[in-house]
């Protein structure tokens, strides 16, 4: 006959640690108002007794599922996504929350993303890559489910957002190219109408205006942040009567495609054309030539999106956060002074 192992209860842990059941609950649920000394005593008791909280019971007591969802509506093969999710993972490791990856049928007129989240009893959700005008996003905001949007400038009673200072980032890129002597500076942009793309295009125009360079519509081509859009966009720019000597790309993947197109024409980067990316993904430093790019703190954005989401979950009165992370320019090998130019203001 097998031996029946009696599982420890929260009362056993409280007795072993010499504290109240409420204090044990606060430690398990990561409340901040417990001293480090008491927290250590409770954790030692939990380890000694091999106590495992009952997730269902915990949810009944706290009114939470201790699960947050993440909806990312761009391919997971995009390096940006892996860096963002690594930040999400870092923030969740010691939070007490689990993560559920969500799929969304955004083109289904009968589908409700808010209902999808509520049916899974999610405490909150992080959303990335969905147009702010989309019906599902508006339903989610109105539902009151705590939500953090990444790179989407929408807010609501229980919804905040986090992004990079895209405008100043691209402005810095244009200024850098101008200081290298470039005057024919093109832009391989992203998806028209998206807040991120609009901000980066505004930064491009800011940079041109600050340098007294006239705006040329034929130097600005829309894309979708992919390698392929950089490839085809650069091919089109190279066919112009006066092709650009430099190009700002609104993603590193687009920049990689642009460089491939330039080299396929027998030209070189940066000797013939300088190229700047945006994101500073891991591959940017390994690419040949190493890519000059606008750095956004992707990992930090992932971390803060979860930290702010949990703050909203824990406190219904927590103001919906609007967070803007600073951008910076990382200068590498893909940009150089224009040969034969004289830099003048």
Q: What is the mean pLDDT of residues 205-217?
A: 97
Whether pLDDT at 62 is above 60: no
Check residues 22 and 214 and name the one with the higher pLDDT: 214
pLDDT band at 6 (very low <50, low <70, confident <90, very high): low
pLDDT digits (tens, 9 = 90+) for 107-160: 777 777 788 788 788 899 999 888 777 888 888 889 899 999 999 888 899 999
Per-residue pLDDT at 124: 93
Tell me the pTM: 0.79
Check residues 215 and 80 and name the one with the higher pLDDT: 215
Lowest mean pLDDT among 54-58, 224-228, 245-249: 54-58
Q: What is the mean pLDDT of residues 172-196?
A: 95
Per-residue pLDDT at 344: 41
Per-residue pLDDT at 66: 83
- Most confident residue range from 9-23, 72-86, 93-107, 259-273: 259-273
Per-residue pLDDT at 54: 59
Please report, rounded to a whole number, the percentage of residues in the chain having pLDDT higher than 70.
92
Per-residue pLDDT at 171: 98
pLDDT digits (tens, 9 = 90+) for 310-324: 999 999 999 999 999
pLDDT band at 216 (very low <50, low <70, confident <90, very high): very high
Per-residue pLDDT at 343: 47
Query: What would the two tokens of residue 250 be?
Result: 């609104």
Per-residue pLDDT at 307: 95
Per-residue pLDDT at 233: 98
pLDDT band at 328 (very low <50, low <70, confident <90, very high): very high
Check residues 342 and 243 and name the one with the higher pLDDT: 243
Whether pLDDT at 8 is above 80: no
Half-sphere exposure of 127 (CA within 13 A, CB side): 28
- Mapped onto helix, strand or coil, the DSSP state of residue 314 is helix
Domains within the chain, CATH numbers bracketed: 10-62 (1.10.260.40), 67-164+297-325 (3.40.50.2300), 166-295 (3.40.50.2300)
Q: What is the mean pLDDT of residues 245-272?
A: 97
Lowest mean pLDDT among 6-20, 235-249, 306-320: 6-20
Mean of all residue pLDDT scores within the chain: 88
Cis peptide before 270 (omega within 30 of 0): yes
pLDDT digits (tens, 9 = 90+) for 275-305: 999 999 999 999 999 999 999 999 999 999 9
Q: What is the mean pLDDT of residues 72-77?
A: 78
Check residues 102 and 246 and name the one with the higher pLDDT: 246
Per-residue pLDDT at 47: 84
- Angle value at C-alpha 55, between 49 and 59, nearest 5 degrees: 130
């Amino acid at each position: 006959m097998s031996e029946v192992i009696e599982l420890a209860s929260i009362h056993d842990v409280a007795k072993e640690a010499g504290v109240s059941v409420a204090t044990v609950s606060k430690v398990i649920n990561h409340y901040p108002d417990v001293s480090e000394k008491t927290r250590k005593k409770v954790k030692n008791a939990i380890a000694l007794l091999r106590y495992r909280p009952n997730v269902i019971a915990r949810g009944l007591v706290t009114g939470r599922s201790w699960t947050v969802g993440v909806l990312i509506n761009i391919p997971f093969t995009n390096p940006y996504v892996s860096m963002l999710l690594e930040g999400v993972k870092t923030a969740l490791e010691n939070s007490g929350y689990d993560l559920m990856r969500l799929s969304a049928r955004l083109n289904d007129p009968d589908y409700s993303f808010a209902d999808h989240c509520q049916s899974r009893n999610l405490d909150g959700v992080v959303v990335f890559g969905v147009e702010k005008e989309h019906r599902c996003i508006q339903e989610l905001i109105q539902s009151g489910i705590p939500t953090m949007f990444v790179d989407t400038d929408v807010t609501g009673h229980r919804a905040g957002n986090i992004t990079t200072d895209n405008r100043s980032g691209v402005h810095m890129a244009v200024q850098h190219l101008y200081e290298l002597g470039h005057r024919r500076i093109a832009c391989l942009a992203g998806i028209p109408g998206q807040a991120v793309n609009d901000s980066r295009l505004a930064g491009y125009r800011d940079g041109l205006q600050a340098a007294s360079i006239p705006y040329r519509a034929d130097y600005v081509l829309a894309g979708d942040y992919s390698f392929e859009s950089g490839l085809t966009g650069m091919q089109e720019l190279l066919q112009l009567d006066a092709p650009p000597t430099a190009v700002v790309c609104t993603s590193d993947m687009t920049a990689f495609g642009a460089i491939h197109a330039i080299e396929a024409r027998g030209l070189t980067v940066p000797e013939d054309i300088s190229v700047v990316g945006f994101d500073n993904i891991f591959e940017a430093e390994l690419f040949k030539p190493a890519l000059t790019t606008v750095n956004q703190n992707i990992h930090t954005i992932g971390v803060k999106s979860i930290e702010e989401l949990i703050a909203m979950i824990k406190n219904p009165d927590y103001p919906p956060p609007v967070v803007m992370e600073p951008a910076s320019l990382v200068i590498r090998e893909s940009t150089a002074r224009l040969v034969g130019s004289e830099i003048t203001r």
